[in-house]
Structure 1
Amino acid sequence: MPQVVFLGAGSVVFTRQLLADLFRFDDLPALRLMLHDIDAERLAVAKGTAEQLLRRFGREAEIVATLDRREALAGADFVVNMIQVGGIDATRVDLELPARAGLRQTIGDTTGVGGVFRGLRTFPVLSEIAADMLELCPEAWFLNYTNPMAMNVWWMSVVAPSIRTVGLCHSVYWTVHDLCELIGVPLDGTHYRAAGVNHQAWLTEWSRDGESLYPLLREKIAADPELGRRVRVEMFRRIGYYPTETSEHSSEYLSWFLRSDAQIERFRIEPLQYIGISEENVAEYEHAKEALATNRDLELEEGAAEYAPQVIHSILTGTERVIHANVVNRGLIDNLPQGAVVEVPATVDADGVHAMPFGSVPTQGAALNRTYLSVAELAIEAARTGDPELVRRAVLVDPNASSTLTPAQIWALCDELTAAHAPLLPKQLGGEREFVLP
């Protein structure tokens, strides 16, 4: 019986969607679903969610919920990672503390100061997971959803290069989905390819019946001045290719927007937005808990859009499909650093996930990608060597931080964040957590 493990299953809304997408495949064999979380109450809600969906879809599966990660991982075939180290409290610190220093972010989970500190508190847990997997399920696929995506997948390649790690994010799919909806063209039958880094890949091909759809998008933008007041549209105008993450996310990866009140107004950006999103997620968890307690059906989104269920389905059934995946750059993108983590098209079949060599991304896009990857590289090296100065230098390289704060202010901010996150950070970096350097 194939075994699928969900780490961080207490993220019940995301667990619900992944399970629903998985259960929509009617040709899968019976599965053993191992749900793991460190929060017993959330884990119970995740189990109740899984049991309800199993009944509603009429599928066959064994569902086990456990607080013991090693129990969950023993014999696993697939490990789906969606942990959030520190939870909503750490997210508030990542956003609010820099904001008090004058540095604005919207989401703060991918790069920049928020992404760096989120990565630094996640790496020790990933190291523990990797050690358990090498012992208990060395052949399993590690399917990562946890941000910062590029940093986390890169870290896994450092501590456990033999583990088959793939980073999965739906941003490319939903970008194309929404663009097709915007110009009134059906998604089905559309051909698209994107490449770069996660949350900053470039839609280099987008066509239907051999004809590029970019001219239709340009016409739509020209006809609607309000569309021009979005970050991604401005990036498209200046770079020439559409980026694959939302305007809210994209605004904090560049120096162009959040440093200026006028730019925030012009491009309709909402600083600290992720705090509200996180609070909504907590409210949705409480709603799910109440629905299960009163035997009401949970609400489901239609369609199988998430990649992890598709990867599991392809490997178990041999169904071939194409996704976009985050993997180590080993000859995949010529003009981005080898060894870094990039996002490229990949085929999936019974033998696994196979990233496709892409060639070069547009030069102007690669220039932005390299800065993003430099932040990630310095954060990885800080954790690998235990050098706290590299943490500060990672933030210094970030375009948004350096456009707003002086070097001295960045150093002071990192000192404050280190103190605030101390229980979750390695001792070598000024925290309190025991951590063996790789």
Structure 2
Amino acid sequence: MTKIAFIGAGSVSFTRELLTDLFSYAELAGTLEIALHDIDEGRLETARRVAERIDGDKGAGARISTHLDRRAALDGCDFAINMVQVGMHEATVKDFDVPDAHGLTQTIGDTLGVGGIFRALRTIPVMLGIGEDLAAVAPGAWFLNYTNPMAILIQAYAEASPHKQVVGLCHSVQNTTRQIAELAGVPFEEVSFTGAGVNHQAFILRFEREGEDLYPLLDAALAKDPELSRRVRVEMYKKLGYFPTESSEHSSEYLPWFLHHPAEVERFRLEPREYVRRSLENLQEYDDVRAALDSGAPLPDERCYEYAPEIIHSMVTGQQRTIYGNVRNDGLIAQLPPQSAVEVPILVDKTGLRPTIVRDYPPQLAALNRTFLNVADLTVRAALDGNPDHVRHAAMLDPNTAASLTLDEIDAVVTELLAAHAGALPAGL
């Protein structure tokens, strides 16, 4: 049996999507043990019901267990999938309300900026606790992390966890390449591409079909529809020469040029506080899933093509794949800091995961990434060293925050959020 632990399984929609993909592999039928963990007993019970429903629908023959104790769920696992959100909706609202009161606009707040900094500070202790558990009870397991802020968490884990087999996973590369293939009018199955950078600020460096550069077809499609240019990611593409892998809502708050200009917010159709709306939708979706389970209504059954199930399938069956993942920058992108986490192509087969070197990374992309990674590194330093001054330094150097607030205003935001999240932060903060 291959044991897979789901940490934060009470995020039932994501659990459902991953299990739908995983249980769709006929080769894995009867070979999987699913250990579900959450600290919320009610959500954990809902996750169990979801897992058992999908297992029955797919005929996967999985062995399913639930655990309030995390180490018990991880004991002997081959893979651990992490999707925790420390503090849930209540903490997210604080991450938006406090900056809002001082004039700082955020859209998503989960990766960079003040929201990303404090989400990281809440999550790093939990991540390192998972690493301690894995080192003790499953040292050979692969830790597959979906929780944001990805670059910060993977750097912290790589530096400070006794367990080292970790990769951060996102769906931005899959989604973006499908979107631009559709815009270019080319079937996705015929496209080959290479992407690289840092999570949520990576770029498609090569976009081809049988050696033909497809960027001119994308340019033609963008030229035909002026509304497509009213997006931050399209503006970034025009200015930087490579299409970014993350959405406009995310990208806008990693940059200094958009959110503190009301006219630019309107021009690029940005939605301040967008993630608060999404967070409320997630709460409603949870209620909808429970209602479906109670009534016997079918659950959504679409494949999502997430990387975690593909990694597990490749390592169990030996089928070779290339996925995109986030790992420590051990010489993978020479133009970026070695301690940082980078997003690169990774070869996967029965032997494990092998990140590939990306050569000749464009200098303008590296320069932009470094403004992102400055914030990530200072946040990691704040957490691992227990130094609150570095929280302030991270916020001071964040592009959107620096463009929007004075130093005194930044200091006030950080002071208030340190107090608001007291008890959930690393020691010393």
TM-score, reference length from structure 2: 0.98
Count of aligned positions: 428
Q: Deviations over 1:157-184 (max 9, x none)?
A: 1122542000011101100001111222
Matched letter for residue 179 of structure 2:
D
Q: How far, CA to CA, are the matches of 1:427 and 1:81 in structure 2?
A: 22
Tell me, in whole angstroms, the C-alpha distance in 1 between the residues paired with 2:261 and 2:194: 33
Q: Kindly state the Cα deviation for residue 351 of structure 1 after the two structures are TM-superposed.
A: 0.8
Q: CA deviation at 1:325?
A: 0.7
Contact persistence 2:124–2:426 (CA under 8 A): no
Q: Which amino acid aligns with 1:394?
A: A
CA distance in structure 2 between the aligned counterparts of 1:269 and 1:160, rounded to whole angstroms: 37
Is contact 1:140-1:163 (8 Å) kept?
Answer: no
Matched residues in 1 for 2:375 and 2:251: separation?
Answer: 15
SS at structure 2 position matched to 1:417: helix
Q: Distance in 1 between matches of 2:69 and 2:255?
A: 41
2:325 alignment counterpart: 325
Deviates more, 1:265-274 or 1:151-160: 151-160
What is the CA–CA distance in structure 2 between the aligned matches of 1:337 and 1:161, rounded to whole Å? 22
Is the contact made by 2:160 and 2:384 (CA closer than 8 Å) also made in structure 1?
no
Answer yes or no: is 1:216 the counterpart of 2:217: yes
2:174 is aligned with what amino acid?
Y
Partners in 2 of 1:93 and 1:406 — Cα distance? 20
SS in 2 for 1:428: coil
Match of 1:434 in 2: none
The Cα offsets for residues 277-318 of structure 1, whole Å up to 9 and x where unpaired, read as: 1111110100100111122211122x3410000000000110
Query: Quick check: 2:111–2:148 contact (8 Å CA) kept in 1?
Result: yes
> CA–CA distance in 1 between the matches of 2:276 and 2:148?
15
In the alignment, the residues of structure 2 paired with residue 161 and residue 30 of structure 1 have an alpha-carbon distance, to the nearest angstrom, of 29
SS at 1:102's partner residue?
coil
CA distance in 1, matches of 2:62, 2:180: 37
Map 1:194-343 onto structure 2 (within 5 A). Answer: 194-301=195-302, 303-343=303-343
Aligned to 2:14: 14
Q: Which residue of 2 aligns with 1:432?
A: none
Q: Which residue of 2 aligns with 1:140?
A: 141
Contact 1:166–1:327, Cα closer than 8 Å, also in 2: yes
Give the corresponding residue for 1:380: 380
C-alpha displacement at 1:224, in angstroms? Answer: 1.2
Of 90-99 and 395-404, more deviation after overlay is shown by: 90-99
**Which residue of 2 is the match for residue 79 of structure 1?**
80
| CA deviations over 1:215-253 (Å, ceiling 9, x no partner) | 011111111111111100100011110100001100000
Q: Which runs of 5+ in 1 are unaligned?
A: 430-438
Of 74-83 and 157-166, more deviation after overlay is shown by 157-166
1:33-53 deviations in whole A, cap 9, x for unaligned? 000000111111110000000
Helix, strand or coil: the match of 1:32?
Answer: strand
Does structure 2 retain, via aligned residues, the 8 Å contact 1:139–1:163? no
89-98 or 317-326, which moves further after superposition? Answer: 89-98
Distance in 2 (alpha carbons) for counterparts of 1:228 and 1:304: 28
C-alpha separation in 2, matches of 1:267 and 1:361: 28
Are the counterparts in 2 of residues 144 and 165 from structure 1 also a CA contact under 8 Å? Answer: yes
Deviations 1:19-77 (A, max 9, x none): 00001111115111000000111111110000000010011110001111011011010
Deviation string, structure 1 residues 248-287 (Cα, Å, up to 9, x no partner): 1000000011010000000000010001111111101001
Letter in 2 for 1:251: S
Give the distance between the partners of 1:361 and 1:114, measured in 2 at CA: 29
Distance 2:96 2:182 in 1: 32
C-alpha RMSD of the superposition: 0.9
Tell me, yes or no, if structure 1 residue 164 matches structure 2 residue 165: yes
Q: Stretches of 4+ moved more than 3 A in 1?
A: none
Do the aligned partners of 1:36 and 1:67 also contact (CA within 8 Å) in 2?
yes
Partner of 2:352: 352
| 2:135/2:162 contact within 8 Å kept | no
The answer to whether the 8 A contact 2:388-2:428 is kept is yes
Match of 1:42 in 2: 43
User: 2:307 corresponds to which letter in structure 1?
Assistant: Y
| Alignment-derived partner of residue 391 in structure 1 | 391
CA contact (8 A) 2:78 2:142 kept: yes
Q: Distance in 2 between matches of 1:300 and 1:67?
A: 27
- TM-score when scaled to structure 1? 0.96
Aligned to 2:102: 101
User: Residues 186-201 of structure 1: matches in 2 within 5 Å?
Assistant: 186-201=187-202
Post-superposition offset of 1:361: 1.7
Give, as a single letter, the amino acid of the residue that structure 1 aligns with 2:145: N
Instruction: State the percentage of identical aligned residues.
Output: 50
Counterpart Cα distance in 2 of 1:348 and 1:97: 43
